[in-house]
Amino acid sequence: MAAHRSCVLWSYCGRRWSWVMRCYELPGLRSAWAGGQLGARQLSQKKQATETHFGFETVSEEEKGGKVYHVFESVAKKYDVMNDMMSLGIHRIWKDLLLWKMRPFPGTQLLDVAGGTGLAWVLGDAEELPFDDDKFDVYTVAFGIRNVTHIDQALQEAHRVLKPGGRFLCLEFSQVNNPLISRLYDLYSFQVIPVLGEVIAGDWKSYQYLVESIRQFPPQEEFKEMIEDAGFEKVTYESLTSGIVAIHSGFKL
């Protein structure tokens, strides 16, 4: 079953991290993006240097991209092991739920951003995708959009490359809605996760950045508004595991 195969691909999702997008079709049609059909995109001028957050640190926007890159360069080797250890394997359930929501079928043109490894991949920038307009049926991003310097631009790009009728799906850490669980979650995040990172991967700071970046990401309602601002309609979200993660969905109509 197509969805099952996608699930299998998902489980290899983070094996090797890079700013990579995965563009693949489910069995049925041959790949439609070979070679020069993508259409080159001109890189825009460098943006004005303003300040933004890197976890709880304040950095310039120019710096942030590089710092995030180094974080993921550093965690790449033990990425899967750490994901399993930190979430006790629950991240696989979250990703399965995302796929279930998507219900892809043969012929779906799917773009998965920040996906790690996959069938056919393209190196690019989420804020400036190297694809033409109105190309994909579904755009997904799982645990990636949080690390983008300009989330609004990534959302606008998502809107641009989707076909009319296309769907945007985002799986991301969000805000916990239960005060007791929130306290336990904070405790676990800040006391245990960096320790796990140090003991298993020998890298405290990357995992400190991870838990801090989660806190810096907007909560469900605010992110929903950001998606609507980018032009998506019928935007909904579903919180999972008391709001530890949320799946946001929007349509380009």
Partner 1 sequence: MGHLGFLLLLGDRALSWACYEFSPSETLQSAPRPERFAVSARRFSRVPAAMATLLRAALRPLRPPPGHREPAADVRLRGARRGTGLLYPEHIPTSPLQKVLLAAGSAGMALYNPYRHDMVAVLGETTGHRALKVLRDQMKRDPEGAQILQERPRILLSTLDLDKLRSLPEGSLGQEYLRFLDVNRVSPDTRAPTRFVDDEELAYVIQRYREVHDMLHTLLGMPTNMLGEIVVKWFEAVQTGLPMCLLGALFGPIRLRTQHLPLLVSELIPWAVQSGRRAPCVLNLYYEQRWEQPLRALREELGITEPPMPSGPWPRP
Annotated binding site for S-adenosyl-L-methionine: 117, 125-126
CB of 121 to partner 1, least distance (A): 27
CB of 203 to partner 1, least distance (A): 9
For residues 149-181, b (16+ Cβ closer than 10 Å) or e, as one string? Answer: bbbebbbebbbbbbeeebbbbbbbbbbbeeeee
Instruction: Tell me whether residue 189 or residue 249 sits nearer to partner 1 (CB atom).
Output: 189
User: Tell me, what DSSP letter sits at residue 16?
Assistant: S
65 counts as binding partner 1 under rule CB under 8 A: no
Q: Are 60 and 145 in contact (CB under 8 A)?
A: no
147 counts as binding partner 1 under rule CB under 8 A: no
Please identify which residue in 83, 147, 189, 220 interacts with partner 1, judged by CB under 8 A.
189
Segment near partner 1 (CB under 8 A); pick from 5-13, 161-169, 184-192, 239-247: 184-192
Site string for partner 1, 23-62 (x = CB under 8 A): -------------------------------xxxxx----
Please identify which residue in 52, 182, 241, 242 interacts with partner 1, judged by CB under 8 A.
182
d(CA 119, CA 122): 10
Instruction: Tell me whether residue 140 or residue 208 sits nearer to partner 1 (CB atom).
Output: 208
215 counts as binding partner 1 under rule CB under 8 A: yes
186 counts as binding partner 1 under rule CB under 8 A: yes
Backbone φ, ψ for residue 63 (5° rounding):
-70, -35
**What Rg value do the Cα atoms of the chain yield, rounded?**
18
Q: Residue type for 147, please? A: N
d(CA 168, CA 163): 10
Q: Are 159 and 168 in contact (CB under 8 A)?
A: yes
What is the enclosing helix (H) or strand (E) of 157?
Answer: helix 151-161
Residues forming the site for partner 1 (CB under 8 A):
54-58, 67, 70, 74, 175, 182-183, 186-187, 189-192, 194-196, 198-200, 202, 204-205, 208-209, 212, 215-216, 219
